[in-house]
Chain A
């Protein structure tokens, strides 16, 4: 294996990993704060891609405006879903899980009804390829890589240093104590759902020009997100980043050196993590 080939495999893994990070971070955030496995998260990702498609391809908005608007729309939708579906079942683990699955199926079915079964595409914002140490990478992918890094940095800083972020962490640690300190648990949950949905929407919007858009994107995305957060640690944003990148590299190197069996590697990793470190790489016991 020459050096350029190795770099190509590495960059492929980085790109793939950042894709997973984008999708999984919102999923992990919700679990971390609300203790909810939001299986509808993948559908928000799909809707983010569709919102960008409609705004840019049908309403003629430029891509970046469409991206921002998609994030806002999906955030709003997420908050509505919380208000009307999750809130009545707050703190009830099993009903919430069933509701989340039901919402996922409902959104997927409605999307199929409204948008049809055919793959749609969002016109590329930039084109061309660049060479990095002999490896080839499309400029489109570079945009996604930088946007993903930017979003993750912003999210981490927001949670760590902003007052609202600190409130979210307080609610995650002990919601009763947080409530006694005057933190509105319900409004924190609502905000958390909004941010998480916006992240899913951003992932959908960023990846739409790279791949294609169809109503079936959600289920595959949420399965990958689940693998990533179990590896990284449920509820941990650094865990989602580490888990996503790890899965991306494993899949890239695995596909190159092991072939067809690579798809199983993610699940093998999940089993190993559950056996030897059930709380995940970055989770707390």
Chain B
């Protein structure tokens, strides 16, 4: 009895084994092709907020493409694999990561850091080897005619403020004077220059400008000096999100009644929690509520994809980083090739790109000397009762 039972079990196991061997063999169609793309971002350290936001947005695009069977390159399907490297917001670490990606992993495409120092250290590796480098940083010098394989995929303060300052001048005609607070590093200096130039173009008078060291948490001494100049609004576009909230909190404690303004994205929940609800009222930023007005279908889909993968709450800092992988993959499909030279040429020739923000393009020939700066719409919103209220959108004009 027992023997028969054993025989039945063994037969069943054998049958299942055969089925297990046959079915994968039937569906097998050669090794799956994989396109490896390098990504160097600050995934730890003080700038991790931005790096991890970029990682989320890029992963959403990667999952979307892989879910539909992969990327179509000249009739062949490729699964997308991202090799993540942490630059720790440090130039030497970023350079080592780039060396590894290029020489060991043999990637042809790299999505790049938010740190100007990292980018400037990585470009001498990517440019001579014709590695397509899609990057982000507010520093002007990361784009230039002698860096033909570098494309900036996120708007800088130059483009954002060219949209926001005219809006501020039109919406609040009583605003005449402005004060700037920026971090004391390459990004801060570059942003401060943009701020001054664009404020002047829009007839705002600068009455104060000072840099602060990153890591500062007590802004009272600086704000005390600033308030003596009685600015109508304060712009701290280059400050980290937490610093922005602290500046708002402390300047309100010191009795400031004017407007606060930053050409960057914020997380409204986090911002109001740190700054205080009442203090945050009316704060102007480059953040966009994807469930509010002026929103495209692509943005709504991105919102839903984000919630499906990461759950609530939605992080409004992430959407701008979606463009990185989105445009690269569109360009590879259009070029029908994985050759970075051909992909680069496609990116240069194509006039319009459909992104989650709607129609986008590359520009900046006059300002940067090369037409490698992405131009997507600029958004402006205000915090009202702790919630983002979209006030408008405009396409920056970049010659």
Which of A's residues lie within 8 Å of B, judged by CB?
5, 8-9, 12-13, 15-16, 19, 109, 112, 116-121, 123-124, 127, 129, 136, 138, 207, 210-212, 214, 216, 219-220, 251-252, 255-256, 259-260, 263
Known: A136-B253, A260-B184, A263-B184. A117 touches B49 (CB 8 A): yes
B221 touches A129 (CB 8 A): no
Question: Is B220 in contact with A211, judged by CB distance below 8 angstroms?
Answer: no
Interface string of B184-225 (1 = CB under 8 A from A): 100000000000000000000000001111010110111011
A5 pairs with B242, CB closer than 8 A: no
Min CB distance, A192 to chain B, in Å?
28
The listed residue (B48, B221, B241, B270) touching A255 by CB distance below 8 A is B221
Q: How far is the CB of B31 from chain A (nearest CB, A)?
A: 34
Residues of B within 8 A of A119 (CB): 49, 241-242, 245, 270, 274
The reply to whether A214 and B210 form a contact with Cβ atoms under 8 Å apart is: no
Per the 8 Å Cβ criterion, residues 232-283 of B in contact with A are 241-242, 245-246, 253-255, 267, 270, 273-274, 276
Q: How far apart are the CA atoms of A21 and B166 in the complex, in Å?
A: 46
Q: With a 10 A CB-CB cut-off, give which of B52, B267, B273 has the most chain A CB atoms.
A: B273
**Bound CA–CA A13/B224 (angstroms):** 11
Q: Roughly how many angstroms separate A58 CA and B368 CA in the complex, as a whole number?
A: 49
Q: Is B228 an interface residue (CB 8 A)?
A: yes
Beyond known contacts A12-B221, A119-B245: 7 more, CB 8 A cutoff: A19-B218, A117-B49, A118-B267, A119-B241, A121-B270, A124-B276, A255-B221
The verdict on A117 contacting B52 (CB below 8 Å), with A5-B228, A112-B44, A260-B184 known, is: yes
When A138-B253, A263-B213 are in contact, do A121 and B273 touch as well, CB less than 8 Å? yes
**Interface contact B267-A260, CB-CB below 8 Å:** no
**Chain B interface residue count: which class?**
20 to 34
Q: Decide: B221 and A252 in contact? CB cutoff 8 A.
A: yes
- Inter-subunit contact B253/A16 (CB<8 Å): no
Q: Find chain B residues with CB under 8 A from A124 CB.
A: 276
User: Bound state CA distance, A15 and B254, in angstroms?
Assistant: 14
Number of A-B contacts (CB under 8 A): 80
User: Can you list 9 A-B contacts with CB-CB less than 8 angstroms, sorted by A residue number?
Assistant: A5-B224, A12-B220, A19-B218, A112-B48, A117-B52, A120-B273, A136-B253, A214-B242, A252-B220
Complex CA gap A139/B236 in Å reads 26
Please tell me if the beta carbons of B44 and A212 are within 8 angstroms of each other in the complex: no
- Asked if residues A256 and B210 are in contact (CB atoms below 8 Å), the reply is no
CB neighbours of B241 from chain A (8 A)? 119
- Interface of chain B residues 297 through 350 with chain A (CB within 8 A): none
Task: Tell me which of A9, A117, A219 contacts B221 (CB under 8 A).
Answer: A9
- Are B44's CB and A211's CB within 8 A? no
A256 close to B221 (CB less than 8 A): yes
Q: B267 and A255: CB pair below 8 A?
A: no
Residue of B184, B218, B253 ringed by the most chain A CB atoms within 10 A: B218
Specify the chain B residue showing the minimal Cβ separation from A256: B225
Pair A121/B44 contact, Cβ less than 8 Å: no
CB distance from A212 to the nearest CB of B (A): 5
